[in-house]
Amino acid sequence: MTTASASASGPVPGHGGRGASGPATVTATDLSLRFGGTRALDGVSLRLSHGVTGLLGPNGAGKTTLLRVLATAVPPDGGRFTALGHDPGTPSGRLALRRTLGYLPQNPGFHPDFTAFDFVDYVAILKELTDRTARLGEVRRVLEAVDLSEVRGKRLKRLSGGMRQRVALAAALVGDPGFLVLDEPTVGLDPEQRMRFRELIAQAGEGRTVLLSTHQTEDVAMLCHRVVVLARGRVRFEGAPAELTARAAGRVWSSAERDPNALAGWRTGMGAFRNVGDPPKGADLVEPTLEDGYLLVLDGDDAAVGA
């Protein structure tokens, strides 16, 4: 396969060097897509490399649209991208990319009468695994990876929402794809499963390119070596999570009363108010988090905050 050639020559991003990113495996330039009057993507350019990249953004920011474009589910109106050396603008490039792609849609649909095993098997067939023995082995492997071997024979309509989410992730993992596109994979999971998922996704990010959208800044802080913030179809930030956190350095303070000048402020469990914005003189500055940085990045776009 030619897929690895783009990256094989460069340094492999080490586990310790989360901020550092290797050579680009996915490069998008000026992607745009409109739905009627809505610019869902408005000139998005970004570079992904091996490892897990997080995509943050408020509701309606265009995350799902961007992931669909990168997963070849819809072609963009404008702009182009290449992934793992393939150009999905051409039929052969698109096919080659699809052969090495794993995609978890935001609302994965199911055939309710299928069992978990049937469903993953079905996706494996869509992914051209026609040899029965190899296919069954692969289905077993991914079901085990998401810890669902026990319920593989249960019908999907009898599984809980979180279990179905795991079945969908298993389907995305079929065939060990080099490029994984996951739309809100941790939504609806209990904390224990969320941790397992993160482990699993981090593992998948070793030597592969993973792009995941999420509303959970913790997902990004714990998992991602890079983060992209999208709002109103535009990239507001692209860099290491630490850089995003650093955006809030000196801009988070605590006070006894809500500070009217703060962009955002809320009472914490400890009783004091935590404020984000431009602190007054002598404010009691506190350590910023990734979420603070995220809120500040969105601040340039008032309507985006809490939209």
Partner 1 sequence: MTWHVSEDDLRLYAQGELAPPLLWSADAHLTGCAPCRARLAETADPVALDAAWERLDAELDAPRPSTVERLLVRLGVADHTARLLAATPVLRRSWLLSVLFLLVMTVLAVRMVGQPMLFLALAPLLPLAGVALSYGPSLDPTYEMAVVAPLHGFRLLMIRTVAVLTAGLVCNGAATLALPGYGLLAVAWLLPALALTGTGLALSTRLGSVLAPSLVGGGWLALLAVGELQTRTHETLAPFTAAGQAAAAGVAAVAALLLYQGRDRFDARPLGGFRDGGAV
Ligand X SMILES: Nc1ncnc2c1ncn2[C@@H]1O[C@H](COP(=O)(O)OP(=O)(O)OP(=O)(O)O)[C@@H](O)[C@H]1O
Beta-carbon-side half-sphere exposure of residue 216 (alpha carbons within 13 Å): 17
Name the one range near partner 1 by CB under 8 A: 16-24, 34-42, 216-224, 264-272: 34-42
Binding of residue 137 to partner 1 (CB under 8 A): yes
Q: Does 2 bind partner 1 (CB under 8 A)?
A: no
Of the candidate residues 41, 151, 170, 171, the single one contacting partner 1 (CB under 8 A): 171
Q: CB nearer to Mg ion: give 106 or 254.
A: 106
C-alpha–C-alpha distance, residues 19 and 201, integer Å: 17
> Which residues within the stretch 67-126 sit at the binding site for ligand X (CB under 6 A)?
106
- Which is nearer to Mg ion, 63 or 247 (by Cβ)? 63
- Is 106 near partner 1 (CB under 8 A)? yes
Question: For residue 29, what are its two tokens?
Answer: 């330039």
| Residues near ligand X (CB under 6 A), total | 12
The answer to whether residue 106 forms part of the interface with Mg ion (CB under 5 A) is yes
Nearer to ligand X, 2 or 59 (CB): 59
Q: Does 27 bind Mg ion (CB under 5 A)?
A: no
Residue 59 touches which member of Mg ion, ligand X, partner 1, none, C-beta under 5-8 Å by kind = ligand X
Closest CB 65 distance from Mg ion, rounded Å = 8
Min. distance of Cβ 71 from Mg ion in angstroms?
13
Site pattern 49..68 for ligand X (x: CB under 6 A): --------x-xxxxxxx---
Choose among Mg ion, ligand X, partner 1, none what residue 57 binds, the Cβ cut-off being 5 to 8 Å by kind.
ligand X
Residue 48 or 230 with smaller CB distance to ligand X: 230
Residue closer to Mg ion by CB (options 105, 207) is 105
Q: Which spans of this chain sit near ligand X (rule: CB under 6 A)?
A: 35, 38, 40, 57, 59-65, 106
